[in-house]
Chains A and B, each alone.
Chain A
Amino acid sequence: MAHDRKSDPAMDNALERSLRESQDASGKDCAERSILAAYFDHELPTAETARWETHFSACARCQEQLAVLARTESALPQVQPVGQPGAWRRFWTLRWVAPLATAAAAVALWVAIRPAPPTEIPRQVAVTPQLSEKNRRDAGAPPPAEAQPPASSSQATNRGVAEVNQLDKAKKPALADANASAPPPVKPTPDRLKTDAAKTPDLEIAERKSATGDEKLAFKTAAPHAQVAAAPSGVEGRMNAQTRREAADEKKSAEFPAVATQQKTPAEHAQKMPAADLAQKAEMKEKPRDGSAAFKTGTTDAAAEKQEESQLAAGLRKGQAVSGRLGVLKLDNGQVLVRPPVRDVAWRLGAQGLIEKSTDAGKTWTRQSSPVSADLLSGSAPSGKVCWVVGTAGTVLRTVDGEHWEKVSSPATADLQSISARDQRSAVVLAADGKTYVTSDGGRTWRLQ
Chain B
Amino acid sequence: MSAITEPGASAVSPPQAGGWCAPPHLLEQLYAKARAERWQLNPTQFAAALQCSVNHHFRGSNPSPGEVESYLRSLHLEDFALACGCAEGNEPAWEHFIREFRPVLYSAARAIAGQSNPHELADSIYAELYGLQTGEGKERKSLFRYFHGRSKLSTWLRAVLAQRHVDAMRASRRTESLEEGEATEASGVAPRAEFVSPPDPERARYLKLLQSALTAVLAALDPRDRLRLCYYYVQDLTLAQIGRLVGEHEATVSRKLGRTRCDLRKQVERMLRDPKGSSRLSEAQVQLCFQYAQEEWPFDLTSALSAGADPIRNASESEKQ
Residues of A bordering B, CB below 8 Å: 1-4, 8-23, 25, 27, 30, 32-38, 40-44, 50, 53-54, 56-58, 60-61, 63-73, 75-77, 79-83, 85-86
Contact = CB atoms under 8 A, between A and B. Distances in A.
A68 B152 contact: no
A65 B261 contact: no
Nearest to A17: B297
Q: Is the interface of A mostly helix, strand, loop or mixed?
A: helix
Max count, chain B CB within 10 A of own CB: residue among A22, A35, A42 = A22
Given A21-B302, A42-B247, A85-B33, A1 B104 contact: no
A1 B255 contact: yes
Interface string B153-171: 0111011111101110110
Nearest to A45: B74
Contacts of A36: 159, 162-163
A15 B291 contact: no
Nearest to B303: A21
12 contacts: A14-B214, A16-B233, A17-B293, A21-B301, A33-B146, A37-B151, A57-B226, A63-B227, A66-B162, A69-B155, A75-B108, A85-B33
Contacts of A3: 232, 239, 253-258, 261
Max count, chain B CB within 10 A of own CB: residue among A40, A64, A72 = A72
A43 B74 contact: yes
Interface in B65-119: 74, 76, 78-79, 81-82, 96, 100-101, 103-104, 107-108, 110-112
B254 A2 contact: yes
Nearest to A9: B294
A19 B108 contact: no
A336 to B, nearest CB: 45
A22 B264 contact: no
B241 interface: yes
Interface of B: 6-9, 33, 35, 38, 74, 76, 78-79, 81-82, 96, 100-101, 103-104, 107-108, 110-112, 146-148, 150-152, 154-156, 158-163, 165-167, 169-170, 210-211, 214-215, 218, 223-224, 226-227, 229-237, 239, 241-242, 244-245, 247, 251, 253-259, 261-262, 264-265, 290-291, 293-294, 297, 299-302, 305
B7 A32 contact: yes
Given A37-B152, A75-B111, A32 B233 contact: no
A67 B100 contact: no
A209 B242 CA distance: 56
B150 A22 contact: no
A68 B211 CA distance: 29
Contacts, number: 225
Nearest to A29: B7
Contacts of A83: 35, 38, 78
A86 B301 CA distance: 49
Contact of B165 (A30, A38, A68): A68
A53 B297 contact: no
Given A14-B297, A22-B302, A67-B235, A41 B111 contact: no
A42 B247 CA distance: 8
Given A14-B297, A22-B305, A83-B35, A32 B158 contact: no
B61 to A, nearest CB: 12
A71 B236 CA distance: 10
A58 B234 CA distance: 11
The 5 closest A-B pairs by CB, nearest first: A37-B151, A72-B111, A21-B301, A3-B258, A75-B111
Nearest to B261: A11
Contact of B235 (A42, A53, A63, A86): A63
A82 B245 contact: no
A167 to B, nearest CB: 59
Given A34-B159, A64-B170, A66-B245, 20 more contacts: A3-B255, A10-B290, A14-B290, A14-B293, A15-B229, A33-B163, A34-B151, A37-B156, A69-B159, A72-B108, A72-B112, A73-B158, A73-B244, A75-B110, A75-B111, A76-B111, A79-B152, A81-B78, A82-B81, A83-B78
Given A2-B255, A13-B297, A41 B151 contact: yes
